[in-house]
């Protein structure tokens, strides 16, 4: 189970580059759909289209997807920091709890201190 989590974290380290790659793939596939299904014509002409509305829409979608990738990367990094802080806190608490078994100090009704070791 731990190997799967490690592999997921390694992929998550590159979410921004993965987002940029998906944007490039989206741009090419969307151009191919226009070239081969809707309008016909060459793929190159649709990739570098002179239609400003088409460029604006592609740019908007690519920008949103890259922003989403950056935000996702931020959350993954924050999760890693919190996980490390939790691990450090667990070690400190385990040390404290293990020390409780060393001795118990009590007082009686006459305020005498009694020390008992376990």
Q: What is the pLDDT of residues 62-84, one digit of tens each?
A: 888 888 888 888 888 899 899 99
Tokens of 93: 């608490």
For 3, other C-beta atoms within 10 Å of its C-beta total 7
Per-residue pLDDT at 1 exceeds 80:
no
CB-based contacts of 65, cutoff 8 Å, min separation 6: 19, 22, 23, 26
Read off the pTM. 0.55
- For the chain, the domains span 2-116
- Supply the mean pLDDT for the chain: 78
């Amino acid at each position: 189970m731990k190997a799967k989590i490690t592999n997921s974290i390694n992929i998550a380290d590159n979410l921004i580059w993965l987002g940029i790659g998906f944007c490039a793939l989206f741009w090419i596939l969307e151009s191919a759909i226009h070239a081969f299904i809707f309008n016909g014509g060459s793929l190159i002409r649709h990739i570098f289209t002179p239609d400003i509305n088409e460029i604006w829409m592609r740019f908007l979608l690519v920008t949103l997807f890259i922003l989403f990738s950056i935000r996702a990367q931020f959350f993954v990094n924050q999760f890693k920091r919190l996980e490390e802080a939790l691990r450090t806190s667990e070690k400190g608490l385990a040390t404290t709890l293990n020390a409780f078994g060393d001795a118990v100090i009590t007082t009686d009704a006459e305020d005498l201190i009694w020390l008992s070791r376990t």
